[in-house]
Amino acid sequence: MAEKPICMSTQVPDDEDTQKEDNIRGLTMLGHFGFDCLPHQLVNKSVQQGFFFNILCVGETGIGKSTLIDTLFNTNLKDKKSSHFYSNVGLKIQTHELQESNVQLKLTVVKTVGYGDQINKESSYHPIVDYIDAQFESYLQEEWKIKRSFADYHDSRVHVCLYFISPTGHSLKPLDLLTMKNIDTKVNIIPLIAKADTISKSDLQKFKCKIMSELVSNGIQIYQFPTDDEADANVNYSMNGLLPFAIVGSTDEVKVGKRMVRGRQYPWGVLQVENENHCDFVKLRDMLLYTNMEDLKEQTHTQHYERYRCCKLQKMGFVDVGPDNQPVSFQEIYEAKRQEFFDQCQREEEELKQKFMQRVKEKETAFKESEKELQDKFEHLKRVQQEETMKLEEERRQLEEEIIDFYKMKAASETLHTLVCTNIKKDKDRKK
Ligand SMILES: Nc1nc2c(ncn2[C@@H]2O[C@H](COP(=O)(O)OP(=O)(O)OP(=O)(O)O)[C@@H](O)[C@H]2O)c(=O)[nH]1
């Protein structure tokens, strides 16, 4: 717990003067003003507010991510084992409230799920990149708000990526290089050789050198422990030379002599996690939590977030200097963008109008053409129908004439018939 500072008063009233002159106090300067207590104020405030830290663990399924986190924070965060049969890489996000002495830590652990289990691994890094960017975006949106509430805001930007390398003793896998290459400008990467107890000491040294040379030759930036602070410079300098850390995780307590230690029991002996001759776990824990947690957070804000913010603003067309290399204010750019947008809208509106007029014209011409076609068709049909009518009229007239002729002939034949019958009757009567 931080000690409560004892601040001395800087202004001491002179008793004699006070007695002599009723309302005037005499003050003696002691050369001590009290602002040397400012760091204590900060410590107290920070302890009251609590701390937060966000870790991203990237590594193949079952490589020891959960075990390492449990070992680092001496907890059992209870995590189910993942399946090897996911078709895509996913992320598991868990937030835990931890306490050590009177210090509260809000720890967010993001772990990959199904990493390295797909046949095609080309897009395995996408969910990781998307997650990191999404946290930056969320912070940026909060920054841009008019009413910001950073006091309640959960800053989920990733402070460190623990990259778990398989203990093949050989070299990095293409997936390792691909992923690290795509996230090294977005997050502080600390490479770890996982399950380092499965690799012999001499092989381990060679493996470390091989990994570092591969990272360098592929231009991958990993987190460098800061060497500019005099107090930590030496330690950090030697730690940079130890990368990647060879890690063994275990939450099991094993008896060594009379002591119980955290380690892994093997038929040939015990591997002690906190023994620096056995693995680099203690170094990692010290570097991560004891010495450099604040630096990791600072790097996240000043390097990685700043880069994201800068790219975002540039994509939106904002710049710090104009074409003439003169500084341009945000207001000027905003006005210029607004004008540009307004002009573009007008141009597009004009274009749309032109297109609309053109289409109306085309449609009108098409309508006129089809109207003419219909009119011609109508005229033609009318003519055909008139001809047809006339023809029918003619036929009707001819038929009527034929009917009249027929009736005439019928009447004549009836008259003739009657005459013949009469004559026949007369002849018969005469013969009688
Ligand atoms: N030999 C050895 N085994 C380890 C080490 N760390 C973890 N293990 C074992 O590896 C197995 C998987 O460990 P986990 O911590 O669950 O691995 P993980 O990466 O979190 O697994 P998923 O979340 O399921 O992907 C467990 O049986 C652990 O005991 C280690 O450093 N060395």
Per residue, the 3-state secondary structure of 58-101, as one string, reads ECCCCCCHHHHHHHHHCCCCCCCCCCCCCCCCEEEEEEEEEEEC
Contact residues for 133 (Cβ-Cβ < 8 A; gap 6+) = 186, 308
Residue that the structure tokens 């969320």 belong to: 138
Residue 8 confidence class, pLDDT cut points 50, 70, 90: very low
Question: Which ligand 1 atom sits nearest the alpha carbon of residue 81?
Answer: 24
Q: Coil, strand or helix: which one is 11?
A: strand
pLDDT, residue 82, reads: 79
Cβ of 251 closer than 6 Å to ligand 1, yes or no, is no
State the chain's mean pLDDT as an integer.
88
Specify the range with the lowest mean pLDDT, choosing from 34-38, 234-238, 272-276, 287-291.
234-238
Residue 320 confidence class, pLDDT cut points 50, 70, 90: confident
Sign of CA pseudo-dihedral 230, 232, 158, 214? positive
pLDDT, residue 30, reads: 64
List 261's β-bridge partners, or say none: 254
Query: Percent of the chain, pLDDT > 90?
Result: 60
Identity of the amino acid at 6? I
Instruction: Single out the residue of 177, 91, 88, 166 nearest to residue 124, CA to CA.
Output: 88
**Tokens at 15, concatenated:** 């008793």
> Ligand 1 centroid to 248 CA: how many Å?
9
pLDDT in tens, 181-213: 999 999 999 999 999 999 998 999 999 999 999
pLDDT, residue 231, reads: 66
Cβ of 285 closer than 6 Å to ligand 1, yes or no, is no
Inter-residue contact 278 to 248 (CB < 8 Å): yes
Q: Whose CA is nearest to atom 25 of ligand 1?
A: 61
Q: Is the pLDDT of residue 370 over 90?
A: yes
Inter-residue contact 187 to 158 (CB < 8 Å): yes
Phi and psi dihedrals of 101, rounded to 5?
A: 50, -125
> Ligand 1 centroid to 249 CA: how many Å?
8
Q: How many CA atoms are closer than 13 Å to the CA of 140, on its beta-carbon side?
A: 16
> Ligand 1 centroid to 262 CA: how many Å?
15
Model ipTM value: 0.97
Specify the range with the lowest mean pLDDT, choosing from 90-94, 226-230, 290-294.
226-230
Count of residues making up the chain: 432
Identity of the amino acid at 122? E
pTM for the model: 0.74
Cα(304)–Cα(187) distance, rounded to whole angstroms?
Answer: 6
Residue predicted with more confidence, 32 or 125 = 125
Cβ of 195 closer than 6 Å to ligand 1, yes or no, is yes
pLDDT in tens, 256-309: 888 899 999 998 889 999 988 899 999 999 999 888 999 999 999 999 999 999
CB atoms within 10 A of CB 192: 26
Residue predicted with more confidence, 61 or 25 = 61
First CA to last CA distance, the chain: 171
Residue 400 confidence class, pLDDT cut points 50, 70, 90: very high
Cβ of 248 closer than 6 Å to ligand 1, yes or no, is yes
Structural Rg of the chain based on CA atoms: 49
Cβ of 112 closer than 6 Å to ligand 1, yes or no, is no
Q: Whose CA is nearest to atom 1 of ligand 1?
A: 195
Inter-residue contact 60 to 164 (CB < 8 Å): yes
